[in-house]
Amino acid sequence: MTARHSLWPTRWLMTDERIGERLWPAIGRLPAGGGIVFRHYGLGADERRRLAERVAADCRDRGLVLAVAGDEALARAVGAALVHNPLEPGGLPFSRSVHSLREAMEAKAQGAALLFVSPVHATRSHPGQRQLGEAAAVEIAKAAGVPAIALGGMTEERFEGVAGAFHGWAGIDAWLA
């Protein structure tokens, strides 16, 4: 399956605690068939599960795909389609965040179904982190052989510059506007 023929969404919202109550309008801005990577790592287990259940219900209601970061048991419990950055691959399809060609090749070898290539541009969520830039991100996406999602300072307009190499894009701030 090529990046252009993937069944995975082409537009993704990455969540975390910093979004707060702006999460709900951001979910509402996602197009039908979009995806959410539910992170919220800083919450306690019970609170994280309750919030994941609520996000999962919104995903079902709106026809969105849900990925749960780092916890396959929680992903299964809420009916997620994907686990993002699991410690070890398990029974569900999984995605990986990659920041270099080496990491992309490792993720492919592990069987990742989807790669989030980041950071393409500077991002408020990771200030000071070295950005890949479009040329390096495109090189990684083209070489990966796995559907790739551009992440890091992405918007619909910025995606136009890399669309030929990527299956789609993900962001935080772009969905908060």
Mean model confidence pLDDT for the chain: 93
Q: Per-residue pLDDT tens for 38-79?
A: 999 999 999 999 999 999 999 999 999 999 999 999 999 999
User: What is the dihedral sign for C-alpha 77, 81, 85, 90?
Assistant: positive
- List the beta bridge partners of residue 149: 116, 168
pLDDT band of residue 8 (cuts 50, 70, 90) is: very high
**pTM over 0.95, yes/no:** no
Contacts of residue 98, defined as CB under 8 A and 6 or more positions apart, other chains included, come to 104, 107, 115, 116, 117, 118, 140, 144
The one-letter amino acid at 118: S
Domains and CATH numbers, the chain: 11-175 (3.20.20.70)
Averaged over 89-102, what is the pLDDT? Answer: 96
In this prediction, residue 6 has a pLDDT band, given cuts at 50, 70 and 90, of: low
